[in-house]
Amino acid sequence: MRFCRSLCASICFGLLFCSVALAAEPNQFALALSGGGARGFAHIGVLKALEEEGIVPDMIFGSSIGAIIGGLYCAGYTPDELRVIAAEIDWGQLFLDSPQRRNLVLAQKENSGKAIVTLRFRGWSPEVPMAVTSGQKLYDLLFDLEQRAPYHVWNSFDDLPICFRTVASDLTYGKPVIFRSGSLAEAMRASSSFPLVYVPYPLGDKRLVDGGVTENIPVELARKEGSKFVVAVDLTGDINPRERMDQPWELVDRVTSVLQLDQNARSLANADAVIVPEVGLHSSTDFTGVDSLIQAGYIATKEIADQLRYLMNEHGITPRPRFAANRHGLSISKRTRDEFDTNFPNNGQAATRIIHDGITVFPDSVVRDVPPSDVARMYRDRGHTLARPIRLEQSIDGGLYCKWDEGVVRNINVDGVSFSKTYAVLRDFPIKTGELFESRRARRGLNQIQGSEHFELVTLSPAATDTGTSLTIRAVERPTPQIRLGAGYSSERKGRGFIEFVHDHLGPYGGRLMLFGKYGEQDEEVRVTRRFDRVLRSSFTAEWTANWVREEYRGFDTRHKPVSFFFFEKAGTEAWVGKGLRRWGELSGGAGYRDFRTGGVSVETKAHHLWIGLRSHVDTQDKYPFPTRGVMLRTRYLHNISASNGEQYNRLTATAAGYFPIQPRWTIGVRSIYAWNDFQLPLWGQYHFGGEHEMPGLHAGERFGNSKFTTQLEARFDLLSRLLADAYISTLYTVGGISQLSDPIPAADDFRHSIGARFSLSTFLGPMSLTAAEMIKSDMETGNFLLYLNLGHEF
């Protein structure tokens, strides 16, 4: 009990001491961190040196990269933690904003990324991209860092241990926008929206870009906020005549730098002291050499430390307590802290007990007499990052009362959508009104909303104040419609190309309309599809398709030489209604009509049938076309209720695949295909067999039958060639067979074995592969060796 009293006393008085220190004229000493792109990592060294010297600012003002470093530091990250973050992040990946495949809507997983060129229209006017990337990955990074931070923003940025301000530039009204409250991640993302690299950040009717456009060294901002003593950190750099300007954003960077020269000079002249790290000619877009940049900031600050102390003394500035000692304190709002200071008994005893109120996540036995800072850490470990004390009191007899708001979401708003329905956005967000905020679920919700491919940028602005918690989802809609173009070549099916028109948000009920046309030397197709991934507010799906297909094949003799030619023409329509299973599955039922015409054969050249059926689709593969983990399953059962030959029969097809990482660079893949007709159909109703994915060593479509089964095993090794493309090498083993009979499984004599090897590249034009395979000789057939070349996606 004595230990508990001592511990609680230290907590209470530590909180009081910290509160008084932070509240006493908090804006006397300000640190202004400039922009500068990658050079801004030197800010980390500056902060580390200032901390070691006991020179901790009352406020930090940041612009662009200075906003990111300064904001994270004010939220409680140490300089060493910031160094690790800067060194471990692959900054180049922040420019790649395609949603992860597992977050895509199921119907889009197979088609996403297959186009080489995408032309977007806003209405019917061509849309020129505003930037290289939407900045989604940058925001996701900042959101995660904000949620993991030791301290959070409640009513304003003044709630942080060091007060924080940042500036962004509004293109709508041509004015700077000062962030004093709200989401820290949102403020940092807006201030770092470099033109032509990241799309402007949406905030109501404002469109915000890099803070450096209006104030790259925020000294004037610090003065306007009442700071008596301002130290500027200048990482803007001199104009480098040898720096390349080959890309549009490099040209914008140079133009912006030139326009900022006079403003930067005025800002530096207005500062009381200036720290200029020696970073040489390091480019603002070069994110290598992080440690050397940090060291440059550290050395420059150490050299000026004594001068800073002298100037602070001249201005009557008293150094505040070391920030490092307060990083494990309690994150509370300034109002709550002030009320506690007011109500703390002048002659009160040390806290003898701690009473927590409003806690539902943990039983009372777990939190009884536990310090509030430890309870906050328990919430944070559970992901309830918006849980916070909203009232602290200590009674005369030494009891500490702590009232908690666990972050129950009072309302959720959606901002920035014009075509999309608000309920459609909220439908993909797993947190509902009345539930506790949980950071991991919130992040998953943002990923799911972006995975619909209707939005370029999706962000979340939590507002956790003393009066409650509200969330605002901000979204930038993708222009629609769009035209996609793609092409490819394979040694088996020759050249091919497609054009596709896609329109989202069509009509009052939304959904997607797709008009697809493919032309190849051996394949042609025209297809119209109308699909609803969600029907109104439900999880049901609906799809209607009408298409015409022509496929050409060659007939082969027993020595695998082409001896004949034939083709299929198929036309029909089908409709499906199903149930979506999150983002990974769908089960549906449907009906359709199909008309067949066969050329090059003399038996039953025309046919038609009417069918009803069931289908399922499961896909958890992490990427395409070279997954490293996940499974895929597609099944389709059709019962033909009316056919031209008067027969009723059943068709069943299934494709299954699984990929499993066994070592950091090794992946094992298994892919099986099964197809069966329970009635012996002529050529138009049979399944083709052969090719590098079914039986390497046979030509694609070399054989046809009513029953087939094949399994291919692949061991794939990642060569880690990242300069122009990802490179892989694989070994293959395949076993499979096909029969013209209608038995469920081909006979043993029908099965063949094949071994092979494949070299593959994953490029921006699509996958490219060269496969060499040998179908092993059997008692029934001679072996055969083939090379397969494939360039581009299959479609």
Q: Residue 6: pLDDT above 60?
A: no
Distance (Å, rounded) from C-alpha 393 to C-alpha 399?
Answer: 8
Cα dihedral: 510, 143, 163, 335 (round 10): 70
Indicate if the pLDDT at residue 260 is higher than 60.
yes
Q: 665-682 pLDDT, tens per residue?
A: 999 999 999 999 999 999
3-state secondary structure of 439: helix
- Residue 24, pLDDT score: 42
Taking residues 761-772, report their average pLDDT: 92
> What whole-number distance in Å separates Cα of residue 72 and Cα of residue 191?
14
pLDDT value for 145: 95
Q: What is the mean pLDDT of residues 392-409?
A: 84
Q: What is the pLDDT of residue 589?
A: 97
- The confidence band for 338, taking pLDDT boundaries of 50, 70 and 90, is low
Read off the pLDDT of residues 265-309 as tens digits, 9 standing for 90 and up. Answer: 888 899 999 999 998 888 877 888 899 999 999 999 999 999 999
Sheet holding 468-477, edge to edge: 409-415, 468-477, 455-465
Q: Which is higher by pLDDT, 205 or 343?
A: 205
Burial of 523 (0-12, 13-18, 19+ CB in 10 A): middle
pLDDT digits (tens, 9 = 90+) for 433-462: 999 999 999 999 998 888 888 888 899 999
| 130 pLDDT higher than 80 | no
Consecutive H or E run containing 642: strand 630-643
Mean of per-residue pLDDT scores for the chain: 86
23-37, 188-202, 513-527, range with the lowest pLDDT: 23-37
pLDDT at res. 529: 96
Q: How far apart are CA 47 and CA 163, in angstroms?
A: 15
> SS3 for 597?
strand
Question: What tokens does 516 get?
Answer: 């697809």
Q: Which of 127-131, 286-290, 429-433, 738-742 has the lowest mean pLDDT?
A: 127-131
Between the alpha carbon of residue 456 and those of residues 179, 238, 449, 475, 532, the distances in Å are 23, 35, 10, 8, 20
Q: How confident is the model over 472-497, as pLDDT tens digits?
A: 999 988 888 999 999 999 999 999 99
For residues 31-45, give the mean pLDDT: 92
**pLDDT, position 508:** 67
pLDDT at 764: 83
Reported as a single tens digit per residue, the pLDDT across 76-93 is 999 999 999 999 888 777
- Domains in the chain, start-ordered, CATH in brackets? 2-7+327-405 (3.10.20), 30-97+134-316 (3.40.1090.10), 409-477 (3.10.20.310), 482-791 (2.40.160.50)
User: 152: burial class by Cβ within 10 Å (0-12, 13-18, 19+)?
Assistant: buried
- Is residue 324's pLDDT more than 60? no
User: What band does 7 get if pLDDT is binned at 50, 70 and 90?
Assistant: very low
pLDDT above 80: residue 111 = no
Q: Please say if the pLDDT value at position 117 is more than 50.
A: yes
Whether the predicted pLDDT of 49 surpasses 70: yes
Measured CA to CA, the distance from residue 564 to residue 538 in angstroms comes to: 52
SS (H, E, C) 167-228: EEEECCCCEEEEECCCCHHHHHHHHCCCCCCECCEEECCEEEECCHHHHCCCHHHHHHCCCC
- The pLDDT value recorded for residue 246 is 60
Identify the residue whose tokens are 């297909």.
549
Banded model confidence at residue 723, pLDDT cuts 50, 70, 90: low
> Looking at residue 509, what is its pLDDT?
72
Distances (CA, A) of 250 to 188, 194, 201, 293: 22, 11, 20, 21
Provide the pLDDT for residue 691.
94
Dump pLDDT digits (tens) for 631-648. Answer: 999 999 999 998 777 788
Q: Which of 652, 656, 570 is nearest to 618 (CA)?
A: 656
Residue among 266, 199, 182 at smallest CA distance from 232: 266
Residue of 39 and 452 predicted with greater confidence: 39
Model confidence band, residue 8 (pLDDT cutoffs 50, 70, 90): very low
In the DSSP assignment, the letter for residue 345 is: -
The answer to whether residue 4 scores a pLDDT higher than 60 is: no
How far from the centroid of its chain's Cα atoms is residue 196's Cα?
20
Question: Percent of the chain beyond pLDDT 70?
Answer: 88
What tens digit of pLDDT does each residue of 532-577 get? 888 877 888 999 999 999 999 999 988 889 999 999 999 999 999 9
pLDDT for 474: 92
Kindly tell me if the per-residue pLDDT of 131 is higher than 50: yes
680-700 average pLDDT score: 93
Given pLDDT bands bounded at 50, 70 and 90, which one contains residue 248?
low
Omega before residue 625 within 30° of 0, cis: yes
Residue 508 dihedral angles phi and psi, to the nearest 5°? -70, -20
Are 298 and 48 contacting, i.e. CB atoms less than 8 angstroms apart? yes
Give yes or no for residue 349 having a pLDDT over 50.
Answer: yes
pLDDT of amino acid 217: 92
pLDDT at 526: 97
Highest mean pLDDT among 262-271, 530-539, 717-726, 734-743: 734-743
